[in-house]
A and B are shown apart, each in its own frame.
Chain A
Amino acid sequence: MAERGFNIKKQTGFGTIAITCFVLLYLPIILLVIYSFNAGQSIAIWEGFSLRWYVSAWGNQQVQDATIRSLVIALWAAGISTAVAVMAALATTRTRSFKGQTAVFGLINQPLMVPEIVTAVALLIFFAMIKVATGYTGLFYLIIAHSAFCIPFAYLPIRARLMGMDLSLEQAAADLYASPWQVFRRVTLPQLWPGILAGAMLAFVISLDTVVITEFVKSAGQDTLPTYMLGQLRRVITPEINAISTVLLGISVLMVIAFTLLSKIRN
């Protein structure tokens, strides 16, 4: 035990398992990206570099429609969930504990606790009733379902930012007879925007990735990119799916990095 250079932080085998873990975590993703550039039909035999699957995905009308639909829903859901999350975060941080607080937190965090399949089934049942009653089958259902699901994801970073902020500035503004709206507009908001942006990006990514809820809520012909891909898995798989995945993957990675940088911005 007393050999020279004894490292107390070393645990035998942990380093090996950790490196194996990182390799296993990234190998499938890297292979997925590599084969999206394959010239051949296969996702396992390399036949040379080509962008043909990106071209074919781009030219596929279904993919185009699904992409636009995914983006429209994600933008709406991110916008709505962030807006209501900012208000909810203000209401729950700039106050002492209040009656009904537990219920409010439970409600906001419900999408995180209830299994997605259960939420999806519940929405299917409820929206089926409304669809029959009103005859309306548009995108509203998907937008509102995604918005609700994204609220906790937008709420948490905004709330974290609000809790970390210096209250004395807001108090000073209030002492100088600023109205609550002026305090928010001129003092709180300028400090809060990194949190808001982070929350909005998180909500956007979550909406873009949501599969199960979309699969159950969508009406006929309302495929988003993930549900389109899920449907394609039953057929012969070509690298076209890899190409679509790579693009989505790229968006996620960019968002995560931006999110990480944003949460590092200090007041």
Chain B
Amino acid sequence: MAANPPLSPEARAARTRWLLLAPAIAILIFAASGPLLITLVYSFLTPGDFGGIEWELSINGWFNVFAQRDIFTDELGWSDAHLSIFWRSVKLSLMTTALCLFFGLPTAYFIATRPKKSRDFWMLLIIIPFWTNLLIRTFAIMELIRNEGTINTVLLWLGVIDAPIQMLFTEFSILVGMAYVYLPLMVLPVYASMERLDFSLVEAGYDLYATRLKVLRRVILPLVKPGIIAGSILVFVPSLGAYVTPRVMGGGNQLMIGNLIELQFGQGRNWPLGAALSITLLAIVMVALVFYVRAAGADSKKDGPHG
């Protein structure tokens, strides 16, 4: 150490900083960012016969994301199968977000209006599922709605139905499953906004003869909008990339983007297409995140530094 030429304090601080950061950066480049770049490269290569790739440039992977050639007539056309899967993913993710908002907003409001002492308890009830294995929660909701599950068994026993209702392996079951597992992601940020809600403004609304609905629409919702946007993004993004829940609840009949990607690395044996689909999904997610940052930025500008 003594042999080193003397460094200025700033240079020494910079050296210490990067030395401290080095192990984290190394691991993240090795097992997060680097592989992502390789995936991008793979999306421009030719699929190997038994999976993997041939080192030969090709844009077929990207081409096949949305288009396909008819195997008989060689005609060019949209890939209906892929488009319908993308459409289903976007549709179910939006519906999941709406459903989570419908249940999450009143729940966050309910917790925020409890006495201060009991709020921690109610929040713990939201946080416990949040940190509980997603697979186990998916599994729990599956046991409830499958043909031999609790709901059908009870309904059969009551005589309401003669045969079990097929709920599992439908779009409905994927929606229910995703809303169930991602609900805490909505409640947490909405609650964070609600907690800071100034109820004197609500009171002022009532003093001015507003109805409850009007106060909700014109006072409360605008004030908690940042939380609602954050919660919606937090639910929408993982829903769009969901893999486990559609696999368990959709049973392989109702694919979402995540399952379509997996297919290319399994039976499909088309790694470049799988890579291109992954990058496409990532791009959609990034657009959603940029939209969120913009919206959040615009909001904080409007409300000033304390908004």
Query: Which residues does A use to contact B, with CB under 8 Å?
Result: 1, 6, 8-15, 17-22, 24-29, 31-32, 35, 42-45, 80-81, 83-85, 87-88, 90-92, 95, 98, 104, 107-108, 110-111, 113-129, 144-145, 147-149, 151, 155, 180, 202, 205, 208-209, 211-212, 216, 226, 229-230, 233, 237, 241-242, 245, 248-249, 252-253, 255-257, 259-260
Contact = CB atoms under 8 A, between A and B. Distances in A.
B248 A123 contact: no
Nearest to B52: A128
A122 B39 contact: yes
Given A21-B183, A31-B143, A32-B139, A14 B106 contact: yes
A12 B211 CA distance: 11
Contacts of A14: 106, 109-110
A233 B195 CA distance: 40
B240 interface: yes
A115 B244 contact: no
Contacts of A259: 131
B71 interface: no
Contacts of A114: 32, 36, 282, 285
Nearest to B37: A122
17 contacts: A8-B199, A14-B110, A24-B103, A25-B126, A28-B141, A31-B143, A44-B153, A91-B17, A107-B28, A115-B238, A117-B258, A125-B38, A126-B38, A211-B133, A242-B143, A248-B133, A256-B124
B250 to A, nearest CB: 12
Contacts of B38: 122, 125-126, 129
Contacts of B14: 98
Interface stretch (B57-65, B72-80, B201-209, B298-306): B201-209
Nearest to A106: B33
Given A17-B106, A91-B21, A123 B243 contact: no
A256 B278 contact: no
B107 A22 contact: yes
B180 interface: yes
A118 B278 CA distance: 5
A249 B104 CA distance: 23
Contacts of B52: 128
Nearest to B51: A128
B39 A229 contact: no
Contacts of B287: none
A122 B136 contact: no
Contact of A208 (B34, B133, B244, B281): B133
B83 interface: no
Contact of A260 (B102, B103, B124, B261): B124
B81 interface: no
B20 A87 contact: yes
B29 A125 contact: no
Contacts of B202: 8-9
A266 B21 CA distance: 27
Which 5 A-B residue pairs are closest in the complex by CB-CB distance?
A115-B241, A18-B110, A122-B35, A148-B31, A28-B140
B92 interface: no
B278 A28 contact: no
Contacts of B24: 84-85, 87-88, 107-108, 151, 155
Nearest to B187: A21
A151 B28 contact: yes
Contacts of B295: none
A145 B32 CA distance: 8
B110 A29 contact: no
Nearest to B240: A115
A231 to B, nearest CB: 11
Given A108-B28, A126-B35, A148-B28, A9 B113 contact: yes
B36 A122 contact: yes
